[in-house]
Amino acid sequence: MKTNKATILSQQDERLVSSNQIFDGHIMQLYVNQIRLDNEAVVEREIIHHLPAVCVLATDEDKVVLVKQYRAAIAREIYEIPAGLLDMEHDGLEAALVGAKRELEEETAYQASQWHELSTFYVSPGYLDEQITLFHATGLTKIDNPLPQDENENVTVHEFTKHEIQAMIQAGEIVDVKTLLALQHWLFNT
């Protein structure tokens, strides 16, 4: 992937002693870094640099929109909120809100009239720098000619009530961390 090392936080770390890029893929890069700790010990850290992403808590009245898709890393289909990577444009990454609107339409055929940025977080900062920005979208409208799903995706759209979501969480049917975070916000703050 075309990434400027100057934009990768782990490559700018003042504690960085050395860095060896092991893998360069379409959406991620793997580095083995030597880091000097405060006690002067030099330790090795495997770091994955991942393109930033967005996710959308899409709700209308008492329903939330989830997508179901197969995830090869865990070899199963799971329910998630709509999400995806920010696209690379000629002048850098697309804006997070632009990406969120695109992902909601591509994955669900919905557009929203109100958008609120809820938080930006790291998925697993012990080894991964993937940063996700979570938006809450309301005022949903189903559209007739939505943006097409990405060719490498096959998602189905589902709507659930708060009661159904609570039962699904208790039954262990929601296992994706960004989805759990968003749904907890919806259940307890709206």
Q: Do 168 and 79 touch, CB atoms closer than 8 A?
A: yes
Gap between the Cα atoms of 39 and 61, Å rounded = 54
Gap between the Cα atoms of 57 and 64, Å rounded = 7
Which 8-state DSSP code applies to residue 95? P
Which 8-state DSSP code applies to residue 86? P
CA 179, distance to chain mean position in Å, is: 9
Tokens matching residue 16: 């960085």
Enumerate the active-site residues.
Answer: 151
Helical residues (DSSP H) of 50-115, grouped into ranges: 96-108
